[in-house]
Amino acid sequence: MIKITLIRKISGTDYVKEMEKKYGNIEKLEKLCEKHENNPEIALELDDWEYFKDRPEETLEEKKILYNFEGLPSPDLNLIDLIKNEKPRSITELAKMMNKDSGNVTKQVNKLKKVGLIEIEEGSANNIKTPVFNYDKIEIVI
């Protein structure tokens, strides 16, 4: 079994902005937490939001752990590097950066999303999908 840990450091200010983008406002998250009282992830996000709204200068180290991953080919690491550092606004733009067919790049991006290594933000205009990698470090334990 391979264990992959994605790690990032985020300021309290940036964490609150991410929560506002995700939920709108803290009241909506509180209602969601009441509705899904057995969901520890939602409860933890609410606790963190309440904590960091009063401590914007503090930093949080966030970790996401992935298991049962069957390997990560080198081209996928290059793709993650491009997404992280060049911040393409769409999969089409990413394909142009790589000088590759957008259909093939879409398949690679979807594979990385499926295993949890990247996220895809859905845009409202023209169904634009933006690949995102918000982590600072990847640790792989074999």
Domain closes at, from 66, 84, 101? 66
Q: How many helices (H) and strands (E) does the chain have?
A: 6, 5
Residue 34 CB coordination number (10 Å): 10
* Average pLDDT over all residues of the chain: 90
Residue 107 CB coordination number (10 Å): 11
Q: Is the pTM here over 0.85, yes or no?
A: no
Domain containing 41 equals: 3-66
Domain closes at, from 32, 66, 100? 66
Beta carbons of 10 and 135 less than 8 angstroms apart:
no
For 125, which DSSP code?
S
Tens of pLDDT along 20-41? 999 999 999 999 999 998 899 9
96 within domain boundaries: yes
- Residues 62, 7, single domain; the answer is yes
142 within domain boundaries: no
Domain closes at, from 38, 66, 94? 66
Beta bridge partners of 64: 6
